[in-house]
Amino acid sequence: MNEAMLTAEAITVLGQWTGGWQVERLLKYRENAVFAVSDATGQRAVLRLHRPGYHNAAALHSELFWMSALVAQGFPAPSPIRAANGAMIVAYGTGASGFADMMSWVPGRPVVEIDDLPTLTRIYATLGDMLGRMHRDAAYWTPPADFFRPAWDHDALLGETPLWGNFRAFPGLHGAGREIVLHAAERASEALRALSTGPAHYGLIHADALADNVIFDEHAGVTLIDFDDCGPGWFLFDIVTCLYFHTPEDRLPVLERAFLSAYRHHFHFDTTDRDHLPLFMFLRALTYVGWVQSRPETETARELGDAFARRAEELARAYLVHRTV
């Protein structure tokens, strides 16, 4: 669906919220189409048109329920805005095949646009503090009986049908690099099956807290957005996601120290956890290869697919060299 068609859908679905909402612009179109919108008073918000077939209604309600619970505890995240009928999600599209929701506007800019190292260091210290608190609370949080989110477990990462797509089928993985990645995946599968899924290691995670989804404002501070991939998983998977796109950079050690120092104030991270970072960095790399394999029509796949494959090979080699499990 092109931008004009998506905008038309957004204009139509906005009629289900009171206030005379209008589309300002398309902010992002990857997994979902995300629009900046405003009402008749000038209040701004974010409208999401979820990709049909990706999450069902139960999963979307669960995402918004957890976000609302976090906000109620003072966690910096957007708040869902209910439609005129009181619903948190509404149907859109032919045969009501898709779902839409609206979130409160978050001031600031994505951290991916910030290059100043002192500012980034301060942001990543705050982010470490935030995720430490989130993991501490999630470790012992009891969700309601109807709560459902896809898990980031062994099968989602290394099974026959990984959650984000089958990395093994990506054509950009070939030759000796492919053999290295597949060999490392076999070793990683053994390691992952041996890891604890107890509450000290595994619980509800954001699963996509990369710099695109962290918003910084000098006055409002740091806010975490886009909980679309949240679900049960290893807390280490959340940590490496925050750091992953800094792995080729000289600044990684600085940002990692700032993040983990703040994280440890709220939740444990010991030498065993550090030993597992190469494993989870490699697993994170495989998810991005799977994503571009399953979405070849996207601009991200066309522009970054081969780079993701090369990075997966590099991290496969690093994991095989340093693995302790």
pLDDT class for 141, splitting at 50, 70, 90?
confident
Determine contact, residues 266/283, Cβ cutoff 8 Å. no
Share of the chain above pLDDT 70, in %: 99
Give the pLDDT score at 317.
Answer: 96
Give the pLDDT score at 139.
Answer: 87
Determine contact, residues 207/152, Cβ cutoff 8 Å. yes
Checking if the pLDDT of 95 tops 70, the result is no
Checking if the pLDDT of 231 tops 90, the result is yes
Residues 228 and 266: their CA atoms lie apart, in Å, by 24
Residues 287 and 83: their CA atoms lie apart, in Å, by 34
Residues 6 or more apart from 245 whose CB is under 8 A from it?
112, 210, 211
- The pair of structure tokens assigned to 297 is 């029509």
Give the pLDDT score at 161.
Answer: 95
Which phi and psi (to 5°) does residue 102 adopt? -125, 140
Residues 241-256, mean pLDDT to the nearest whole number: 92
Residues 6 or more apart from 285 whose CB is under 8 A from it?
244, 308, 311, 312, 315, 316
Checking if the pLDDT of 300 tops 90, the result is no
Determine contact, residues 233/151, Cβ cutoff 8 Å. yes
Which among 165, 170, 237, 174 has a CA at the least distance from the CA of 202?
Answer: 237
10 vs 94, residue with greater confidence:
10
Q: Which of 39-48, 94-103, 159-168 has the lowest mean pLDDT?
A: 94-103
Q: Which of 77-86, 201-210, 241-250 has the lowest mean pLDDT?
A: 241-250
Kindly report, residue by residue over 102-121, the tens digit of the pLDDT: 999 999 999 999 999 999 99
Give the pLDDT score at 3.
Answer: 85
- The pair of structure tokens assigned to 78 is 């957007």
Share of the chain above pLDDT 90, in %: 87
Residues 203 and 138: their CA atoms lie apart, in Å, by 6
How does DSSP classify residue 152? B
Kindly report, residue by residue over 17-66, the tens digit of the pLDDT: 999 999 999 998 888 999 999 999 999 999 999 988 889 999 999 999 99
Domains of the chain: 3-105 (3.30.200.20), 110-322 (3.90.1200.10)
Residues 6 or more apart from 177 whose CB is under 8 A from it?
309, 310, 313
Residues 140-154, mean pLDDT to the nearest whole number: 94
Name the pTM for this structure. 0.94
Residues 260 and 133: their CA atoms lie apart, in Å, by 12
User: Which residue reads 């996601």 in tokens?
Assistant: 241
Residues 86 and 79: their CA atoms lie apart, in Å, by 14
- Give CA separation, 70 vs 77, 133, 168, in Å: 7, 10, 36
pLDDT class for 174, splitting at 50, 70, 90?
very high
265 vs 300, residue with greater confidence:
265
Task: Give one DSSP letter per residue of 212-241, joined into a string.
Answer: GGEEEETTTEEEE---TT-EEEEHHHHHHH
